[in-house]
A and B are shown apart, each in its own frame.
Chain A
Amino acid sequence: MSMRVFASAALLLLLSALVLQPAYAAEPEVCTSGSYIGSDRNGRPEALRLDCAYATERDSITIYRRGDVLDSTVDWRQSLYMQQALWIFDAGSDGSANLIIDFRREGRALVAELYDDLNDDGRVSFEIQQGRPTITERAQRMPRPAWSVRVAAPDGWWVKDGRINFNLAILVDGPVRATFGPDITYTKMVLDGQPDVSVDVTDPDNNGVPNTDVRRLLMDLPSLDGYYRSNIMVNESDQDVPLQNSIVWPFLGSTFAALRGYNPTVTEVFRGRGGRSYGIVRDYHENPAPLQVEWGSSKIRYIGEFVASRGGEQQWFSYSLAATPPRASSTPNFESPFAFYDLAADQDGIPELSVRHVWYAPEDPFYANGLVKHGLRIVRYSWDQDNNQSWDYKLGLISSSPAITDTVFIGPTTLNVLPYDRLAQHVVEQPSDAVTFVAQETPNAWTSEGIYQWDDSPNLSSSYLAGVSTRIPNDDFATIAAGFRGEINLDYHQPPQLYFSPIDRKLHLLGAERGIWNSGTKGELRYRDIDRDGYLDQWSHTQVLTTSETITRSSQLNISRSHLIYSDMDGIVLRQAAVPVQSWAVTPPATHAEWQRLGAALDREEPAPVPGDLTAMAAPFVGPEQRISGATLRDYRATGEQFRFVLDLQPGFKITGAALLDRRSLAPGSYVISYDGQLRVTPLTPPALSATLADAPLTELEPNLLKLTIRNDGLEDVSDALIEVWAQPPAGTATVVTSDTVSVLGQQALTIKLPWTPRRAGAWTLTPTLRQPDQQPLSLQSAQQTVLPQQPIDAGRVIATSTSARMRPMLVTGLALFALVAALIMWQQWVRYDREVESCS
């Protein structure tokens, strides 16, 4: 029996010893020596002092063990207690504390509470009483010292077997930058004893690589203000860069400047440098210790990312304006998810594909004041095709979207987001309402978030696509930054497809309506799909040369199914040649194989001509050719096999080459050249416009549609003209009552319907007027229009509308009755004075 008790006690002691075994950090590199200092009544040391260089060349850390004694015979490396101990960090060893960490055990968990300067005196106040330090640093209006950051390891260890514990629950109180977002966020964070931010880090398989990092704003915020209420980072691989530059405790580090080893005195080093700290967002191949202290001001500045948001190639993150509470299902909005992929499968830490998926639910109050009635998806799909850390292409996919039904589990939180594994494939397989395609033509340009150009515009997603506006926001995509080539189709409605053009030997968006290549000083190349067959067929290059004088050079290349027409300031080249519309087509790469295939296909192609060299673009396509010098081309348009343009011949023009156009019919002047199986030359006639208003009965105050037919009997087109209808009432002045923008092509008629609500009845005179840029308004034929009056509303109609026939007698009786009652009461109450007196007497 006694043996059994003894064995049990021994076992318990052994287990206790194991459980209470102090957790040690990996061998510190910043601290080179340690010495035991002070001595109690028994001659045992009071503290361990480490000589380090984490901020300057002469820093120290003093460790006081709580509730136990230090053994001076033990090597100092074995006395780095991180539970039940107080660590005092003294940067510069000037005798004042810059940070104090109180390590303690709470139940099974290990907890570290970090105290920094709260009263802006550049130090953390403490007192030593009987050899034991007590923190006295207090914030204004706080009755007692309060931590700024509290780190808890529920598993009860920080480092075990060389592995760091990344199952952490961190709370932040006060203005420590712990979430990504606008700076105003930090003005809302006040040290008041109520945590402002939570950071939950998990490493479910305990392999020393954190898998998720979830941050939430906890403070009260106005419900519709645009704070990123949740930051979620997820590592989809089992690898990460090891923590760097830790200061003994693996999670503790410094801001940028300290790590880079500024050398002068402490105060000079850390104040007013203007240098950027590591901050929250990790860079590629970096993993600084996340709790970043600015030692000069003795403040914890950042809680950097445990899991990289952008600084890697197999991870995703979500920055949501809507909250994502723990232990609940929620749908994050804004960037949810923003994912990065190792498309090259080279595991070099640099992504080749970045997918930014912005999502808003129908009437999401955080977007356009909830005006958008449908779910909205805005995708930025950027990829690096040649794997040289320079983004090459980007698709902007802006579209209405059904609700997201996929779920992703992040610890106890359920998120409705597209899963990382399906995201890339999903977004390129979905039809998109509006699509932009951007190519970065300047090498070696990189951002951590892909190509920003032509993502979206407020007039697009929150107005045109929301059905608010009927105006296509082409102006928002009229220019692009130098070095970029952009293409667009705002009514796309299909999954994005790319094709390689044999003409400019570039990758294009299949179905792009137009595009622009801004090559800086080399000019601007604009291109369009004139015949609307989905392939670009017109390139116009403009270059402004500024030397002693400013010269604008322009040239244009038009490709029809049968001809190739080049024009510049010198003349025109008309070549009979069949040009294929595409070399090959491809879907945007979403997998390694697709990325490889596209790369191989591009590699097989000849290099593209320099931007603006349209003759080089036309050169590969040979055929009979006619050159006309002293001529210019304008108003090119094409439909199917047919095309048409205006040829202006100056005096002294010359025609050489094949007889494609009958040169005998040409003299100086303007001609319409058309092709409908054969080329035809017709002298140009000016626009001859006439208008007819359909006679339909109109009624006062009722919306009507005026049916207006405009006919152009001339050969010259009228493009983008403003048609106005002036209406003159009887004995009144004419005013514009409706208008629209129209193009009336040569020898064609156009019928439009214009809304008009006549404000009064009578015989109106309506006069359509056409306004063209730089031209006098052209008034067309007037028409008389009779507007019929509405039936007047009389009292009987109002009564009939507002009450039923059976109620009317009752209502009249009621009115009379209470008038009578009121009169009776007054009659009864107001009596003559003399009667009162009689009554009194």
Chain B
Amino acid sequence: MQLKQQPAPLRDSSSGFWLWVGPLIYMLLVGVYFIARTEGRWAEVDSAVFTEVTRVFIRDGRLLPTSGELYPNGYGYQAISAFVVTFTGLDVASLQQLVYPLLASCVALVALALFHELTGTRRGAVIATMLLFTQPEFLFVILRSSHEKFTRALLLLCMLWLVRSIKLHDRPWLFATHVGLFYLTAYTMITNNNLLAHSFIAAIVVVLVLGWVLARCRQHVRAQIGHLPRRLAYATLVSLGLVYLFTFYAYPPAQHDLLVLHDMWERVAALFLDMETRSTNAYAYVALGWISLQVYFLVSIANWIVLGASFVIWLGQAWRWLWRRDATVSLTSWILWLFYAGFAAQGALSVVVDASGSIGGNIQHRLFPSFSIFACGVLGAWLARWRPQRLAPLVRVGLSLGIGCVAVLSVLKATNEPLLSNKWTFYKSGELEALRWSDRYLTNADIWTEIDERLQMAFLLRVGQSVNNNFFYGGAEVQPPTRYILTTTVTQTRNRRLHHALPVPPDAMRVYDNGEAQLYHVRPQTPYQR
């Protein structure tokens, strides 16, 4: 009778093997599949840009390169990559394409440690971790080779040190060690990406404010969360100080962030005050990226399940913990609940900002993985304690089969599976050869490559900047004064599936053909079109 009302503390029956090795093996397999799907020939914008900035970073040997591409939001990723390249002798492109996707498996270890702290059980940790790795948005950002691979891991690590420091406040040495580790990790995260670090600090601020308000309004909450607000206040102040030092002293290009924010608020204001201003809806393009809206929802189903289920659980917890004044809620449960609210608030705001069209409709995509960490935590913790009295075997089978299915669907989404996605990120060796040839024999030329940046990024990632000042670009239209057009069998296949016409005039001259890719020179119509 008592068990029905109040679950007794459970003995954790998870085996150590599955706890640590299971998610690690799973992520390793996903990483191998990510590479194998394209036979290592994949490229996308952020990974290509980070490849180039890392090359420049290594060439210049400075945090602030004097020439070439520079990543304005931080130097951490470049510094780590430069270290690995120097240490191993790998070239940057191979590191990006073949090594870093495998490194995503290491995130599993950090996630397990954090979820273990937050859920209080090994089972909860493993379930939450598995749920997190079936989130396609999270999976995509840690598989590809941009700063997010590190910033997401560092965010998890920051949370781990923060939670442990809060739990260990009565053991001064351990507390001091964990506080120190938290700031060290926070600064590392800032050096990787100032903007994402901002959002993490903003979430802490939301948690701080929410916690303080709840503590003021509910006596029992004050007793349960104890010194949490004070610890968060210090964490916020010191982290902001670190951000300030980084932005204005360590890495001045990071001030670029401030410009971005300035513009963003202008646009948000425009959204609310004047609907005629130049704002765009980033979500209007979602369906275009997939062969159908149904497919999009299917491959994103893990997002919706976690989003919906975690929200229901979170609401239920709010009802029980706040209104029914549950006296048994642990501090870590509150932390999870509050951080869920903090990132959910940011997510809601990001939808508004994305709708305003600022920062390229990027914020929601950036914030959802952060939010999903806590959503999976909430859901994982609940699942670990869910004990249906009836149909339990069926539930177990269903959960296992379900996670297997969403794992496949999420991986299909995270890898932009060409069968389902219109956003192709693979390239063929013949295409790269044609790009190399064009760059060798053309000078100052604009070269149209495809309807999007697929081949442009492939060139940037594998080769780098053009040596002859050529400009490879993609787009729906051929922009004047372009005189060269590259077509490939992949381009033709993609265009036909999208029902797009190739912009090669019938009288254009084919000046290169390797069987897989052709370069055309558009016939001049005036003496000045050479």
Residues of A in contact with B (beta carbons under 8 Å apart): 362-363, 371, 373-374, 400, 433, 464-470, 472, 491, 493, 701-705, 753, 755, 757, 759, 790-793, 795, 797-799, 801-804, 807, 810-811, 814-815, 817-837, 839-840
Interface string of B493-512 (1 = CB under 8 A from A): 10111011111111100000
Identify the closest chain B residue to A836 (Cβ): B10
Whether the Cβ atoms of B18 and A829 lie closer than 8 Å is yes
Partner of B496, one of A466, A790, A823: A790
Whether the Cβ atoms of B33 and A798 lie closer than 8 Å is no
Which of A468, A704, A798, A820 has the most C-beta atoms of chain B within 10 angstroms of its own C-beta?
A798
B392 within 8 A of A: yes
Distance in angstroms between the alpha carbons of A377 and B350 in the assembled complex: 50
Given contacts A801-B490, A804-B39, contact A814 B123 (CB under 8 A): no
When distances are taken between beta carbons in the complex, the residues of chain A under 8 Å from B411 are 815, 818
When distances are taken between beta carbons in the complex, the residues of chain A under 8 Å from B407 are 818-819, 822-823
Residues of B in contact with A (beta carbons under 8 Å apart): 3, 8, 10-11, 13-15, 18, 22-23, 25-26, 29-30, 32-33, 36-39, 123, 126-127, 130, 134, 383-384, 387-389, 392-393, 395-397, 399-405, 407-408, 411, 418-419, 424, 426, 444-446, 469, 480-481, 483, 489-490, 493, 495-497, 499-507, 524-530
When distances are taken between beta carbons in the complex, the residues of chain B under 8 Å from A797 are 493
Partner of B26, one of A472, A757, A822: A822
Whether the Cβ atoms of A702 and B501 lie closer than 8 Å is yes
Distance in angstroms between the alpha carbons of A97 and B397 in the assembled complex: 95
Distance in angstroms between the alpha carbons of A38 and B32 in the assembled complex: 94
Whether the Cβ atoms of B400 and A705 lie closer than 8 Å is no
Whether the Cβ atoms of B18 and A828 lie closer than 8 Å is yes
Whether the Cβ atoms of A701 and B496 lie closer than 8 Å is yes
Whether the Cβ atoms of B18 and A817 lie closer than 8 Å is no
Whether the Cβ atoms of B30 and A470 lie closer than 8 Å is no
Smallest beta-carbon distance B119→chain A, Å: 11
Distance in angstroms between the alpha carbons of A839 and B8 in the assembled complex: 13
Smallest beta-carbon distance B233→chain A, Å: 35
Given contacts A703-B501, A801-B418, A803-B39, contact A819 B400 (CB under 8 A): no
Distance in angstroms between the alpha carbons of A815 and B506 in the assembled complex: 43
When distances are taken between beta carbons in the complex, the residues of chain A under 8 Å from B396 are 827, 830-832
Which of A493, A807, A836 has the most C-beta atoms of chain B within 10 angstroms of its own C-beta?
A836
When distances are taken between beta carbons in the complex, the residues of chain A under 8 Å from B527 are 433, 491, 493
Distance in angstroms between the alpha carbons of A400 and B527 in the assembled complex: 11
Which of A702, A757, A828 has the most C-beta atoms of chain B within 10 angstroms of its own C-beta?
A828
Whether the Cβ atoms of B480 and A467 lie closer than 8 Å is yes
Smallest beta-carbon distance A373→chain B, Å: 5
Identify the closest chain B residue to A832 (Cβ): B392
Smallest beta-carbon distance B203→chain A, Å: 28
Given contacts A801-B490, A824-B400, contact A815 B505 (CB under 8 A): no
Smallest beta-carbon distance B152→chain A, Å: 20
When distances are taken between beta carbons in the complex, the residues of chain B under 8 Å from A807 are 36, 39
Distance in angstroms between the alpha carbons of A465 and B480 in the assembled complex: 12
Given contacts A793-B496, A814-B29, contact A470 B529 (CB under 8 A): yes
Given contacts A373-B481, A797-B493, A840-B10, contact A829 B127 (CB under 8 A): yes
Partner of B33, one of A703, A790, A814, A823: A814
Given contacts A801-B493, A814-B33, contact A705 B506 (CB under 8 A): yes
Distance in angstroms between the alpha carbons of A591 and B489 in the assembled complex: 61
Whether the Cβ atoms of A802 and B22 lie closer than 8 Å is no
Distance in angstroms between the alpha carbons of A826 and B383 in the assembled complex: 11
When distances are taken between beta carbons in the complex, the residues of chain A under 8 Å from B37 are 802-803, 811
Distance in angstroms between the alpha carbons of A755 and B401 in the assembled complex: 55
Can you report 21 A-B residue pairs in the complex whose CB atoms are below 8 A from each other?
A: A363-B444, A464-B526, A467-B483, A470-B529, A491-B527, A493-B527, A702-B502, A702-B506, A703-B503, A703-B505, A705-B506, A705-B507, A793-B493, A814-B33, A815-B33, A823-B401, A826-B402, A833-B392, A836-B11, A836-B387, A840-B8
Distance in angstroms between the alpha carbons of A823 and B26 in the assembled complex: 10
Whether the Cβ atoms of A798 and B18 lie closer than 8 Å is no
Distance in angstroms between the alpha carbons of A755 and B38 in the assembled complex: 37
Distance in angstroms between the alpha carbons of A82 and B328 in the assembled complex: 89
Smallest beta-carbon distance A623→chain B, Å: 40
Smallest beta-carbon distance A825→chain B, Å: 4
Whether the Cβ atoms of B529 and A467 lie closer than 8 Å is yes
Identify the closest chain A residue to B34 (Cβ): A814
Whether the Cβ atoms of B426 and A755 lie closer than 8 Å is no
Pick the 6 closest A-B CB pairs, nearest first. A833-B387, A823-B404, A822-B407, A467-B529, A819-B404, A818-B29
Smallest beta-carbon distance A371→chain B, Å: 7
When distances are taken between beta carbons in the complex, the residues of chain A under 8 Å from B490 are 801-802
Whether the Cβ atoms of A826 and B127 lie closer than 8 Å is yes
Distance in angstroms between the alpha carbons of A374 and B528 in the assembled complex: 10
Identify the closest chain B residue to A701 (Cβ): B501
Whether the Cβ atoms of B483 and A822 lie closer than 8 Å is no
When distances are taken between beta carbons in the complex, the residues of chain B under 8 Å from A468 are 480-481
Distance in angstroms between the alpha carbons of A819 and B500 in the assembled complex: 36
Which of A374, A810, A826 has the most C-beta atoms of chain B within 10 angstroms of its own C-beta?
A826
Q: Contacts A373-B445, A702-B501, A814-B36 known; list 7 others, CB within 8 Å.
A: A363-B444, A491-B526, A810-B36, A815-B408, A820-B404, A821-B29, A822-B407
Distance in angstroms between the alpha carbons of A40 and B500 in the assembled complex: 95
When distances are taken between beta carbons in the complex, the residues of chain B under 8 Å from A810 are 36
When distances are taken between beta carbons in the complex, the residues of chain A under 8 Å from B489 are 801
Distance in angstroms between the alpha carbons of A792 and B496 in the assembled complex: 7
Distance in angstroms between the alpha carbons of A749 and B25 in the assembled complex: 76
Whether the Cβ atoms of B493 and A825 lie closer than 8 Å is no
Whether the Cβ atoms of B29 and A830 lie closer than 8 Å is no
Identify the closest chain B residue to A790 (Cβ): B496
Which of A493, A829, A836 has the most C-beta atoms of chain B within 10 angstroms of its own C-beta?
A829
Given contacts A822-B134, A825-B126, A836-B11, contact A793 B497 (CB under 8 A): yes
Whether the Cβ atoms of A830 and B127 lie closer than 8 Å is yes
Whether the Cβ atoms of A833 and B444 lie closer than 8 Å is no
When distances are taken between beta carbons in the complex, the residues of chain A under 8 Å from B469 are 362-363
When distances are taken between beta carbons in the complex, the residues of chain B under 8 Å from A834 are 387, 389, 392
Given contacts A702-B502, A793-B493, A825-B22, contact A818 B419 (CB under 8 A): no
When distances are taken between beta carbons in the complex, the residues of chain A under 8 Å from B397 are 827
Distance in angstroms between the alpha carbons of A837 and B25 in the assembled complex: 30
Given contacts A829-B126, A836-B387, contact A818 B33 (CB under 8 A): yes
When distances are taken between beta carbons in the complex, the residues of chain A under 8 Å from B506 are 702-705, 755
Distance in angstroms between the alpha carbons of A533 and B478 in the assembled complex: 38
Distance in angstroms between the alpha carbons of A795 and B408 in the assembled complex: 18
When distances are taken between beta carbons in the complex, the residues of chain B under 8 Å from A803 are 37-39
Distance in angstroms between the alpha carbons of A373 and B126 in the assembled complex: 58
When distances are taken between beta carbons in the complex, the residues of chain B under 8 Å from A791 are 496
Smallest beta-carbon distance A558→chain B, Å: 29
Whether the Cβ atoms of B493 and A837 lie closer than 8 Å is no
Identify the closest chain A residue to B480 (Cβ): A468
Whether the Cβ atoms of A373 and B36 lie closer than 8 Å is no
Identify the closest chain A residue to B389 (Cβ): A833
When distances are taken between beta carbons in the complex, the residues of chain B under 8 Å from A703 are 501-506
Partner of B501, one of A493, A757, A802, A826: A757
Identify the closest chain B residue to A833 (Cβ): B387
Whether the Cβ atoms of B399 and A830 lie closer than 8 Å is yes
Whether the Cβ atoms of A818 and B15 lie closer than 8 Å is no
When distances are taken between beta carbons in the complex, the residues of chain A under 8 Å from B496 are 701, 790-793
Given contacts A701-B499, A701-B501, contact A802 B418 (CB under 8 A): yes
When distances are taken between beta carbons in the complex, the residues of chain B under 8 Å from A702 are 501-502, 506
Whether the Cβ atoms of B127 and A802 lie closer than 8 Å is no
When distances are taken between beta carbons in the complex, the residues of chain B under 8 Å from A793 are 493, 496-497
Identify the closest chain A residue to B471 (Cβ): A363
When distances are taken between beta carbons in the complex, the residues of chain A under 8 Å from B526 are 464, 467, 470, 472, 491
Partner of B11, one of A759, A790, A829, A840: A840
Distance in angstroms between the alpha carbons of A826 and B124 in the assembled complex: 11
Distance in angstroms between the alpha carbons of A43 and B334 in the assembled complex: 89
Distance in angstroms between the alpha carbons of A243 and B481 in the assembled complex: 52
Given contacts A802-B424, A833-B389, contact A467 B130 (CB under 8 A): no
